[in-house]
Chain A
Amino acid sequence: MTFGDGKLRVGTAALGCPPGAARWFFAVCGAALPVVCGAAGIGRRKVSAPHKLKPRSLKMVQALLLCLAVFIFSGAGDPATRFTELGHQLMCICGCNQILLECNHVGCPDSDGMRNELAAQVTRGDSDSLVQQAFVQKYGPTVLAAPTTTGFNRTAWVVPFAALFFGFGLVVLVVRGWRNNPSPTPAGSGPSNGYSSGLAGSGPTGGPGISRTELEQFRDQADKETEL
């Protein structure tokens, strides 16, 4: 796991965003803003609760989002930065499975040539997509270090986030279901240790009427018996 390469970067590529990310970001922000503001009570005429924000705050939120967007999507123009950014989006093709600019094994037959090609294209002023296309044409699609966001490759990016939302939704549903239908408290357990109350319930190891002292003894015994 690496957090970066030590080079300063700004712009969409700083986030390593795939092409079109800016468009997506603004679309998401545009869609999310009314929802966020609505949830917070921003922009409503009747503000009853004291914690709800005033309409002036709406402008502040918008300004904040705008600043964030400017920070993230301001372009990075100098060749050295672009070289570093692009070099970290490409793979060395010698079979070492390393990022082009991180390929460090001695005597690599490919990485020096590829770096020179990249430097030449960046110096010439070719756009990022043009550079990537040139590399893909020459070395094949495996030269890109991550899937693109076009066609079927988009699924590579979408699926983990879909899984996150699905999983999160599932957990929330399960928790809600549990809270709406709480299990009956087993007899004799009281608001105490859940482990003990589990034993005191109708579970297979204990029956109603077992005292806490006995449960503690059982627990100790179980601990001793299960020592490796």
Chain B
Amino acid sequence: MAQIGSFALLLALALAAYSFLVGMIALFFQSGHESEGMDRVGETARRAGVACFAAVLLAAVVLVTAAFQNDFTIAYIFHHSNRDLSAPYKFATLWSGQEGSLLFWSLLLAAYGFVLRLRYKTDPRLFAYASVVLAAVQVFFLLLLNLAANPFGILEGPLRADGSGLNPLLQYPEMVIHPPMLYLGYVGFTVPFAFALGALIMKYPGEKWIHITRRWTMVTWIFLTCGVFLGAHWAYSVLGWGGYWGWDPVENASLMPWLVGTAFLHSVMMQEKRGMLKVWNMWLVFAAFWLAILGTFLTRSGIISSVHAFAQSSIGDWFAWFLGITFVVFLFFFIKNRSHLKSEHKLESLISRESSFLFNNLLLLLACFTVLWGTWFPKISEWVQGNKVTVGAPFYNKVNIPVALLLLLLTAVGPLLAWRKTSLESLKRNFFWPTLGALAVAIFLIITPQSWGSIFGMRPWRDVTYLYSLMTIFLSALVIFTVASEFYRGGRVISGHTGQGMFASIVQLGHRNTRRYGGYIVHFGVVLAMIGFAGSAFNQEKEADKGLNYGDQMTIGNYTLICRSYTDEEFPNYASEWAVLDVYKNGNKIDTLTPERRFYKASQQASTLPFIRSTFKEDLYVIFEGQNEKGWPIIKAHLNPMVIWIWIGAWVMVLGTGMALIPNAPAPARVPVAKRVAEPVHAVTGD
């Protein structure tokens, strides 16, 4: 089994190297004049890239099969699986450890390359360049797999009867879906980078490459978004990860490319619409790719300590070299061909869509820089002062919350600004009602009695965290009202032309320009998530540290928990113990909770699974901490307001991006171009 896997990896390396070298030679000799012979050579390089996918897939299948067959002769399987591990986690062995996850990375890269090479007819020359760049990245990962982190290494010493098992913290359903999503996001940024570098090298005429790149980036961005939020949900649902967001270096590593990718998805519109920011976009694409690799470097080199990181290994040096080489290559071609990237237009007014994108990019990159700086500062401090310092949540919150609030403000303002120039009159007209609505929401939250619930009766003058929360909700409401007004105005125009009802008109509006209105839905999702984050200012916690005897009760918020029983049970892979608690609200029993602790036999480690009762208003988060000396369960309860809105926001973001990827439905009558630009709020097409 191990030999087949190793052979598949070697074959994949040979094919990737062929695809890269021969593809490069073909492009070099094609550049001067048409050459049929070179076209055929280039075609062999493309096919080698396609075949490379098959070889990497074979290696991955072999590894998963070995996990299912409990082949503990393979060291990787021994360290990351055991006989009683359930089937989904055995499948997830592919990305549970260092070597396997690198193979998985390589597989995803090969899969992206496979799709790209099959679609080469869209623009054969540009795709040929992109294919060569992808092959180069693939060669790096396959070299790593073959020389430094081979997942098919044989276990030394006597053959073991059972494996060490999977880390208990990883034995959670999201282990099956979170890493693939995150990796699809990380790896996906290679594709826009490949197109960008290809377009730069060949001095691609026109903006078609940016259309192609934008779509790939949207696909990548949504995978990364899913990955980030799934990870947050997982970290919230299992104790030990530090809550849904703990500003851990590895969490930060996923946030950085996300922020840059988000910046690119906005600034790319400047290039598409106005031929501006060509240099900027080129660097944004590169930065997103580079930061994704940097995140991998952080996770795997052991250079920065993290609860999420893989074990320290020597592959950090490989990544450091790779990061350096890609930077030098990109810089070289940028300097060589930068004259090709001159803007076709320039900004005409500060109150315009263009300037809102500029400031949007500035803030997103500032947030990214702060995260990068905070992540690296402990290391920098060690180099300069000789001792490490901690850069934790207080630092990030202080710097990034104001930035996030400014971004929310721009999210509300930006879409209502016209390209080129917006009159103050138009601004007043468009913002009056949304601002009034948002103010009404804020005042309502201030004047309502606190007995209504956690977020009511906000007193922003009592604590700056309350002030931040109130501002977040105010700005979120502003975004929601501006988005709603955009749909309403567009719907009204269509309704006026077609005589349809408002709802049908709004649906048609969305079909006619999926990208624009899908984007608004994404904004809506973002503000829902922000409202969820804002709720954390009102978290409460209570602990029955002396234990709850049967019939004892504890109260948190409006909930009363009464201990009913305590039990345990044996499973093949783990032993479980849990408390059974009845939950009462206003004297009525509303639920029964079973917070749990597990003890995994193979790894001899424990894991704590809180019971989370989610409502739109708050989460009742109950932890079973163990038993006291009398055998009574020790219970800790938290009341976390609004958390569910984070997950709902994530779903809405996915929905919006999905909508934005759908091709536009044809419009029966096109609105004149001049009108579309002059009064974008009435437009039904355009971004």
Name A residues whose Cβ lies closer than 8 Å to a Cβ of B.
1-6, 8-10, 14-16, 71-72, 88-89, 91, 95-99, 102, 104-107, 140-148, 151-153, 156-157, 159-161, 163-164, 167-168, 171, 174-175, 178-179, 181-183, 186, 190-198, 201, 203-205, 212, 216, 222-223, 225-228
Can you give 21 A-B contacts (C-beta < 8 A)? A3-B537, A6-B539, A8-B463, A15-B398, A98-B242, A98-B246, A99-B392, A104-B623, A107-B606, A146-B398, A147-B389, A148-B389, A175-B355, A193-B419, A193-B674, A193-B677, A194-B273, A198-B274, A198-B344, A223-B664, A228-B661
Q: Flag if B677 contacts A96 (CB, 8 Å).
A: no
Shortest Cβ distance from residue A190 to the other chain B in the assembled complex, whole angstroms: 7
Known A1-B536, A99-B394, A205-B207; further 18 A-B contacts with Cβ < 8 A: A3-B533, A4-B469, A16-B394, A97-B242, A97-B248, A106-B608, A141-B390, A145-B394, A146-B390, A146-B394, A151-B385, A153-B385, A161-B399, A171-B359, A194-B420, A194-B677, A205-B206, A227-B663
A6-B122 Cα distance, complex, nearest whole Å? 55
Q: For this complex, into which size category does the number of interface residues on chain B fall? A: 35 or more
Q: Flag if A16 contacts B211 (CB, 8 Å).
A: no
A65-B374 Cα distance, complex, nearest whole Å? 32
Collect the chain B residues with CB atoms within 8 Å of residue A107's CB.
606, 626
Name A205's closest neighbour in chain B (CB-CB). Answer: B206
A161-B625 Cα distance, complex, nearest whole Å? 42
A97-B388 Cα distance, complex, nearest whole Å? 14
Contact stretch, chosen from B31-39, B100-108, B346-354, B423-431: B346-354
Residue of B366, B401, B462, B676 near A164 (CB, 8 A) is B366
Q: Flag if B206 contacts A204 (CB, 8 Å).
A: yes
Collect the chain B residues with CB atoms within 8 Å of residue A72's CB.
464
Collect the chain A residues with CB atoms within 8 Å of residue B246's CB.
97-98
Asked if B488 is at the interface of the complex by the 8 Å CB criterion, the answer is: no
List which B378-405 residues lie within 8 A (CB) of chain A: 378, 381, 384-385, 387-401, 403-404
Number of A-B contacts (CB under 8 A): 251
Name B538's closest neighbour in chain A (CB-CB). Answer: A6
Residue of A6, A14, A198 near B345 (CB, 8 A) is A198
Name B378's closest neighbour in chain A (CB-CB). Answer: A142
Q: Flag if B390 contacts A153 (CB, 8 Å).
A: no
Collect the chain B residues with CB atoms within 8 Å of residue A143's CB.
390
Q: Flag if A106 contacts B623 (CB, 8 Å).
A: yes
Q: Flag if A2 contacts B243 (CB, 8 Å).
A: yes
Collect the chain B residues with CB atoms within 8 Å of residue A175's CB.
347, 350, 355, 358
Collect the chain B residues with CB atoms within 8 Å of residue A201's CB.
344
Q: Flag if A226 contacts B677 (CB, 8 Å).
A: no
Name A186's closest neighbour in chain B (CB-CB). Answer: B344
Q: Flag if A194 contacts B345 (CB, 8 Å).
A: yes
Q: Assess A16 versus B243: contact at CB under 8 Å? Given A6-B540, A181-B346, A193-B673.
A: no
Q: Flag if A159 contacts B373 (CB, 8 Å).
A: yes
Collect the chain A residues with CB atoms within 8 Å of residue B245's CB.
1-2
Name B209's closest neighbour in chain A (CB-CB). Answer: A226
Shortest Cβ distance from residue B364 to the other chain A in the assembled complex, whole angstroms: 11
Asked if B327 is at the interface of the complex by the 8 Å CB criterion, the answer is: no
